[in-house]
Structure 1
Amino acid sequence: MDAPRPRRRSTPFLIGLVAILAALPLGYFLFLHQPPPPPPRPVVEAPPAPPPKKGPVQLTLEEVRGTVEVRHGTGEWRAASAGEALRPSDAVRTRDGSYAVLIGGEAVEVRMEAGTEVSVEALTDSLSRLFLGNGMTTVRIKPGSGQTFQLKAAGSDAEARSEGGTFTLSNNGAGTVALATLVGEVSFSGQRKVVIVRAGQQSVIRPGQGPTAPTDIPSSLLLKVNWPARPTVSRRQLVVSGQTDPGNHVDVAGQRVPTDAEGHFSHTVALKEGANSVQVRALSVGGLSQENQRELTVDTTPPGKVTVDPPLWNDPNPHNQ
């Protein structure tokens, strides 16, 4: 009768042990188990920002040396100043012994030699078009700038076009236009003919003709000057004439002198009594220059008295019949 008592006493113990064992996984899950990290959210890439919209090239006068004038639209010519903005229909000109530099941001640079006139025709985000009335100018277009540069010439249908080159263009205003490429390449056209002038080459357009086949820039240039036979002259005006290569820029006594289609030039120089130094300088589109100078003396003193035979004046009938 006493044997069943221990079994009854062990039953609650067993039930408690089973409950504890059963609770272990739940406790682990509730207190010790780290929940798995949430799945990564899908990365949504933002659409690329559109490139900033380019505005038209802003052309300004960067440098002004000597007598440089500007004309806005149909206004009057007036003295130019550095930093002045230029817009389509504006024009700039340099007088003798002067020069100017125009810039269009980092994309375009235009250097004007003395005696040069340039007008602005178009300025957009991808095109700059200028008009060379006369003289000589050097243009640099930065490669990769997305800018196309066109330079047209007055008195001709000649046009230079480049997207990343450096070139010099001269125009005598009467149909003779010369071009030399210093960096890159330039498309040179006229009379429905187009040639590609590459670095180190030059080409010339004469009135009514297309551009010549590109040739290497020569190592020297032609400059012949017709000086008086004697260093002493009796007049205070002197006609200085000569010849250079077609398209060259010529200065006589500091004044720009136009040349014809064959490079001939002529200019009247005012001299002073006594010693004079007269200089002739030629500059080519290829960057070559040459000078020819002469020292002249002006003597306008009249000759001494002339002795005349007195009987000649007393002859009543000097013209015998």
Structure 2
Amino acid sequence: MAGSQTPRRQAPFLIGLALILAALPLGYFVFLREPPPPPPVVVKAPPPAPPVEAPAPRKAVQLSLKTIEGTVEVRRGGGPWEAAQRGAPLNPTDAVRTKDASSAVIIGDEAVEVLMSAGTEVSVESLTDELSRILLETGMATTVIRPGKRHTFEVKAAHSDALARAEEASTFTMSNDGAGTVAVGAREGNVEFRGHGKVVIVRAGQQSIVTPTSGGPSEPAPVPTSLLRKISWPDNRRNQRRVTVAGEAEPGSRLELAGQHFSPGPDGKFERSVELKEGENLVRLRAYSVGGTHQEAQKTFKMDTRPPKKLKVDLPWGNPSPSEAPTQTQSP
């Protein structure tokens, strides 16, 4: 009996052991086996950036003659002066000049315009994509920089270190007497005016002047309304063909006497001779400022160089014939 019970008692133990041994692989698989590697992550490459187009290179401003009135001449690279043609291009070292009673307009694409008064000469110094510069030899020139066309434009005065510079929309005028007296006036916007190491900002309605003996441009002041300070007219009745008009005008202004254009001296004094024709002569004197104002004075001269008429004497006895003419007798 005892022998038969022992196997029965061992049976549950053996069954449990068998279950434990059977569960070992399952436990290993569940708890001890390393988890499978995660699936590979597929990273999509970003789409290629669109190609960046390089900005188109800026072109230098091209100058050309837009308008010609009267006698206008062009000189190419130091060559001889020749008649100007409308639309002719202007390159560095080219020059333009206007005679008396003449004018010209130079344009630079749609960015700038230069109006040359009578008796003015300019030359082209530099033309780049960022800066254009002309040299005012003598006379008066007005520069107009168009709005929306940002471009630096400079006007330099010959025989002086004076220079006017503007970058934005503006209108300014420079006059140069060719001997060191230079004036700049602004009508719109602002313009930088420098000379002798000094820099001033000339605003609309103002002007500034530099002379050979000044320490630089004067402080900007309102444009004067009176330009002719004093005029000395000769007698109006003349028997000579030439008269001399003298006086004093605003320094830096531009004068016109009987069609001749010239500049007063640094002190404003001037003296000019005029040829008269026979009969009545209306002589006009005009003054122009860099600020756009002008003034005029005039006088009439009567020119009479004819010899006096022969005098006719009526004798009391009329005009007898030679046979009837009275004779004188000599007393003995």
Quick check: 1:189 aligned with 2:194? yes
Among candidates 294, 297, 304, match of residue 292 of structure 1: 297
Among candidates 71, 76, 92, match of residue 75 of structure 2: 71
In percent, how many aligned pairs have the same letter? 52
1:187-226 to 2 correspondences below 5 Å: 187-209=192-214, 210-226=216-232
Question: Is contact 1:257–1:266 with CA below 8 Å preserved after alignment?
Answer: no
Tell me the CA shift for residue 179 of structure 1: 0.5
Q: Runs ≥4 in structure 1, deviation > 3 angstroms?
A: 40-45, 301-305
What SS does the aligned partner of 2:247 have? strand
Determine the structure 2 residue equivalent to 1:160: 164
Question: Is contact 1:257–1:265 with CA below 8 Å preserved after alignment?
Answer: no
Given the two structures, how large is their TM-score scaled by the length of structure 2? 0.76
Q: d(CA) in 2 for partners of 1:43 and 1:222? A: 76
Question: Is contact 1:181–1:286 with CA below 8 Å preserved after alignment?
Answer: yes
Q: d(CA) in 1 for partners of 2:291 and 2:95? A: 25
Match for 2:149: what amino acid?
A: S
Determine the structure 1 residue equivalent to 2:265: 260
Q: Which moved more, 1:215-224 or 1:107-116?
A: 215-224
Question: Is contact 1:143–1:163 with CA below 8 Å preserved after alignment?
Answer: no
Determine the structure 2 residue equivalent to 1:16: none
CA displacement, residues 71-93 of structure 1 (integer Å, 9 cap, x when unaligned) = 00021000001100000000000
Question: Is contact 2:161–2:196 with CA below 8 Å preserved after alignment?
Answer: yes
1:99-248 to 2 correspondences below 5 Å: 99-164=103-168, 165-209=170-214, 210-228=216-234, 230-248=235-253
Match for 2:171: what amino acid?
A: T
1:9-88 to 2 correspondences below 5 Å: 44-88=48-92
Determine the structure 2 residue equivalent to 1:28: none
What SS does the aligned partner of 1:261 have? coil
For this pair of structures, how many residues does the alignment match?
A: 266
Given the two structures, how large is their TM-score scaled by the length of structure 1? 0.79
Question: Is contact 2:207–2:222 with CA below 8 Å preserved after alignment?
Answer: yes
Question: Is contact 2:176–2:252 with CA below 8 Å preserved after alignment?
Answer: yes
Determine the structure 2 residue equivalent to 1:37: none
Match for 1:66: what amino acid?
A: G
What SS does the aligned partner of 1:97 have? coil
Q: d(CA) in 2 for partners of 1:237 and 1:221? A: 25
Match for 1:235: what amino acid?
A: Q
Tell me the CA shift for residue 258 of structure 1: 2.5
Determine the structure 1 residue equivalent to 2:22: none
Question: Is contact 1:58–1:104 with CA below 8 Å preserved after alignment?
Answer: yes
Q: d(CA) in 2 for partners of 1:61 and 1:52? A: 27
Q: d(CA) in 1 for partners of 2:132 and 2:192? A: 15
Question: Is contact 1:121–1:129 with CA below 8 Å preserved after alignment?
Answer: yes
The higher radius of gyration belongs to 2
Structure 2: gaps of 5 or more residues? 1-43, 311-332
Question: Is contact 1:223–1:282 with CA below 8 Å preserved after alignment?
Answer: no
Q: CA RMSD in A?
A: 1.9
